[in-house]
Amino acid sequence: MHSDRVASRSAEPKDSRESRNGGGPHLDAVSLAIIEQLQEDGRRPYAAIGKAVGLSEAAVRQRVQKLLDQGVMQIVAVTDPLTVGFRRQAMVGVNVEGDVESVADALSAMDECEYVVMTAGSFDLMVEIVCEDDDHLLEVINRRIRAVPGVRSTESFVYLKLKKQTYMWGTR
């Protein structure tokens, strides 16, 4: 009945990508394929995913639940706040003296910071912020962010127009 499924599952040896995985949980090729499916359509039924990756509906459901619980992925609606029409948005490059990670944690705790990443280059941190209006933007950048201990300097890039936004790194 399902002889076609046996071949595709656990056929390949442990993927080399797993060993390169940093701290995160282990993800085999099947879980990657499931994520790929959900990157195309976050509401795709479990049965359809199962058919695509070679697993039963229940097995897909269990894997997805675990991936969500572990925080490996999240299934959400994404928009362009500028298009939705009531926010000011900017990317802020931050230079830090002392412990970068603690500064990153402090910025992550702020509601207005939607995206915080540690980087190599002329900035130590890149932070994307979403604000109500210009006043709010000004306050967040000049008062709140620069007030964090360890922040040496910042440089702002106010968003004019979002041109592309995808989440399909898996499908190439």
Partner DNA sequence: CCCAAGTCTGCGAAATCCGCAAACATCAAC
Partner DNA sequence: GTTGATGTTTGCGGATTTCGCAGACTTGGG
Residues that bind a copy of itself (CB under 8 A): 17-18, 20-24, 27, 32, 35, 38-43, 72-79, 81-87, 90-91, 93, 101, 104-105, 107-108, 111, 113-123, 126, 130, 155-167, 169, 172
Residues 6+ positions from 12 with CB-CB distance below 8 Å: 29
Phi and psi for 121 in degrees, rounded to 5?
Answer: 135, -160
Please check whether residue 11 is in contact with residue 28, taking contact to mean a CB–CB distance below 8 angstroms. no
> How distant, in Å, are the alpha carbons of 12, 38, 113 from that of 6?
12, 23, 46
Tell the smallest beta-carbon distance from residue 78 to DNA (Å).
18
Q: Tell which one of 27, 46, 137, 151 touches DNA (CB under 7 A).
A: 46
Residue 10 is a binding residue for DNA (CB under 7 A): yes
Q: Which residues bind DNA (CB under 7 A)?
A: 1-2, 5, 9-10, 30, 45-48, 50, 55-59, 61-63, 66
